[in-house]
Homo-oligomer: A and B are copies of this chain.
Amino acid sequence: MALKKITVKASRGYDILIGGGLLDNAAEHMKRAVKAKNFAVITDDHVAPLYGDKLADSLKSAGFSVCQKVFPHGEASKSSYTLNAIYDFLSENSVTRSDCVLALGGGVVGDIAGFAAATYQRGIDYIQIPTSLLAQVDSSVGGKTAIDLPSGKNLVGAFWQPRLVLIDTNTLDTLPEEFFIDGLGEVIKYGMIKSKSLFELLERHDSLGIRGVLEDVIYECVSIKAAVVEADEFDSGERMLLNFGHTLGHAIEKMTNYTGISHGRAISVGMRMITKAAENSALTAKGLTNRLTACLERYGLNAEVAFTPYELAKAALNDKKRMGEMIHIIVCKDAGKSEVIKMSTNEFILLLS
């Protein structure tokens, strides 16, 4: 079994392991990362039947004790209601500061289980075991944890680094195609902001062909993310690049109540809109919008939305990324080259008008 490893040097350093079949030897990898004797698996009702038992068996045969909390899948679970249920579960199972949470699932599981670990007893260890492409290339790395509020996504959270990220690429075999496509939205984002070679590889493939080189693609995305997180763990500079397409993308998700369009599709629209606006204002190389649009189309990420860029820009200003009266916008000057531009909210509205 091929095994790739990336080490993140954050406030607390940790390894990211990437490979097919890693879950089979989960306990072994965990032993090296944490001292815990008890593990609390947090997962959802899609993932639990697929990998919950497998994980628990691996841990139990290694002599650990395991408890498991399963909540309904989907973004609606990323709420204070589920969070409180997780707290109660941890407390009822006498989980202590020397135990460890395992976040087994996609982005929702990783975000809420990570936030529970960040705050239960003022912070306990946790390990990310992402099972969706989106979580594997993006949300499981970097220590951003969160829940949603009724008024917006990710409005409550913490920076809390995991002790280990275990990416078993075999779990993608059971991922429904629509979620796979969705994750490719973030993959294309990495190409756009930091890796010309990744973007060009994506331009040559499609959603079927890309599966043949998936481990390399994931490795490249995670490497970019790890480097960006190391440079700016607490999201006040470089890390903002990862938000490319997200300001407008989040606005789309919000205006459709997080049910109308998936995250990957929303940020795909966001990337296209901001790139088009930037190209119109000569902030971006001529023709990049067309290249991006063509690339997105290859992966079925060419959704249309019922909102104008202007409407979305207005909506985005209620988002958390509005820093007082100045905001930070990410634009790509060319494929693989991005920058943070600081502008007033008025300039932002104008840019999108």
A contact residues vs B (CB 8 Å cutoff): 37, 80, 83-84, 87-88, 91-92, 94, 96-99, 115, 118-123, 144, 146, 149-152, 154-159, 234-235, 318, 320, 322-324
Contact = CB atoms under 8 A, between A and B. Distances in A.
B152 A91 contact: yes
Contact of A87 (B94, B96, B122, B149): B149
Nearest to A152: B91
Given A91-B152, A150-B88, A157 B122 contact: yes
A151 B98 contact: no
Nearest to A38: B324
A120 B158 CA distance: 8
Contacts of A156: 87, 119-122
Task: Tell which of A37, A94, A115 has the most Cβ of chain B within 10 Å.
Answer: A94
Contacts of A144: 122
B320 A96 contact: yes
Contacts of A146: 122
9 contacts: A88-B149, A96-B323, A98-B323, A119-B158, A120-B156, A121-B156, A122-B144, A122-B157, A123-B159
A92 B120 CA distance: 26
A157 B96 contact: no
B122 A92 contact: no
Task: Tell which of A80, A92, A144, A318 has the most Cβ of chain B within 10 Å.
Answer: A80
Contact of A155 (B91, B98, B158, B234): B91
B318 A94 contact: yes
A322 B96 contact: yes
B87 A37 contact: no
Nearest to A160: B158
A149 B116 CA distance: 13
A151 B96 contact: no
B88 A84 contact: no
A324 B96 contact: yes
B91 A149 contact: yes
A324 B124 CA distance: 13
B91 A80 contact: no
Contacts of A154: 122
Contact of A157 (B84, B119, B157, B159): B119
B235 A122 contact: yes
A121 B87 contact: no
A151 B151 CA distance: 29
A116 B123 CA distance: 15
A154 B156 CA distance: 19
B151 A88 contact: yes
A317 to B, nearest CB: 9
A158 B320 contact: no
Given A150-B88, A320-B96, A320-B97, A155 B80 contact: no
Contacts of A318: 94
B155 A323 contact: no
Contacts of A119: 115, 119, 156-158
